[in-house]
Amino acid sequence: MTSPHIALTIAASDPSGGAGIQADLKAFSANGAYGTAVLTALTAQNTRGVTGIHAVPPAFVTEQLDTLFADVRVDAVKIGMLADAAIAAAVADALERHRPPYVVLDPVMVSTSGHRLLEADAVSVLRERLLPLADLITPNLPEAGDLLGTAAAKNRADAIEQARALLRAGARRVLLKGGHHTHDAQSVDILADAIDAADATAATAATGALGAGVTELSAPRVNTRNTHGTGCTLSSAIAALRPQHDDWTTAVRAAKDYLTGALRAADTLHVGHGHGPVHHFHQYWS
C-alpha cells in the first residue's frame, strides 16, 4: 500500500469548475496528490463573471480546519480566496496552531472579470498575518501592487523590485507571475527567495543583473482566451508537487510545465461562453 501526499485547499467554490476549490482539487489530482478542501465562501459565477459571494462564518472555517487537522495528515496547504478580514484571521490562527509543512498563498483579490473577491480591510490581515506564515506567495502583477499599495509593475526591473519589496514585507518566497505582460512572446515569472533583500536590490540596481536569490522562469505564452482559473491551478499544482521534489524551484518549474500543457489543451474543452477553464486533465483525457 502507498500513502499519497495529501494537499489541502482553503478557498471558495466556483460552480463552473474552472477556478476555486474545484480547480484546486483537479490540479491536486492531476499532479499526484490526494485533495482535501476547506470552504471559505460560496460564489455565484460562471465563465463570464461573478454575480455574488456568500462568505462562510469564520467560526465554521475554524471548525472545518481543526476537524480536518485532528484526523488527516496534511503535507501541503494552498490558500486561495478568503473573502474578508475575519476569515483571513481565522485561517492564520489555524495555521499557527497546526503548522503544516508547506504553505502556498495565492492572494486572490480580483477575478478575471474584474469582480473584487477580497474586501479592502482584509488586505492588511493578508499582509501582516498570512505573508509570514506562507512558504511561497504567488501574486500576479496587479495583486503584488495591491499588497504593496502601489501600481502594478510595467517591466522586468519593476517586477524584480516588487518581488524584493514583498520579501522585505515579510514573505519568505515570492513567485511574481508575469502573465499580465500580454505583449511578450514568453510568460516570465520572477521567483525570489528570502535572502537579504536590501543587499540584493542594491546589487541588481548596480549591475542590471537579476541579483542573488532571483530566478526567471519562462514559458511560451499560449494564445487562448480560456484562462479562467490559471492562478488557482498554478498555486495548487505547486502545493501538490512541493512534497514530491527536493526544492521550491524544481516544484515551481514542474507546476509551470503542467499549466502550460493545460493552457495548450484548453481550447479542446467547450465550457461556457466566456473565458473558459484550462484543461486540468490534459495528460489523461484523449
Q: At 117, is the secondary structure helix, strand, or coil?
A: coil
pLDDT (average), residues 231-257: 97
Q: Where are the chain's structural domains?
A: 5-268
> CA nearest 89: which of 34, 129, 51?
129
**Fold that domain 5-268 belongs to in CATH:** UDP-N-acetylmuramoyl-L-alanine:D-glutamate ligase (3.40.1190)
At residue 273, φ and ψ (nearest 5 deg) are -120, 5
**Cβ 35 vs Cβ 246: under 8 Å:** no
- pLDDT tens for residues 155-208? 889 999 999 999 999 999 999 998 655 556 777 899 999 764 454 444 444 434
Burial readout 253-279 (b: 16 or more C-beta within 10 A, e: otherwise): bbbbebbbbbbbbbeebebbebbbbbb
Question: Phi-psi bin for 41: left (phi > 0), alpha (psi -120 to 50), beta?
Answer: beta
- pLDDT tens for residues 232-241? 999 999 999 9
Q: Which residues are catalytic?
A: 177, 227, 229-232
The residue whose grid cell reads 492572494 is 107
Q: What is the pLDDT of residue 184?
A: 67
Q: Kindly write down the DSSP assignment for every residue of 184-228, as one continuous string.
A: SSEEEEEEEESS-HHHHHHHHHHH-S--TTEEEEEEEPP--S--B
The residue whose grid cell reads 499580465 is 180
**Whole-model pTM above 0.95?**
no
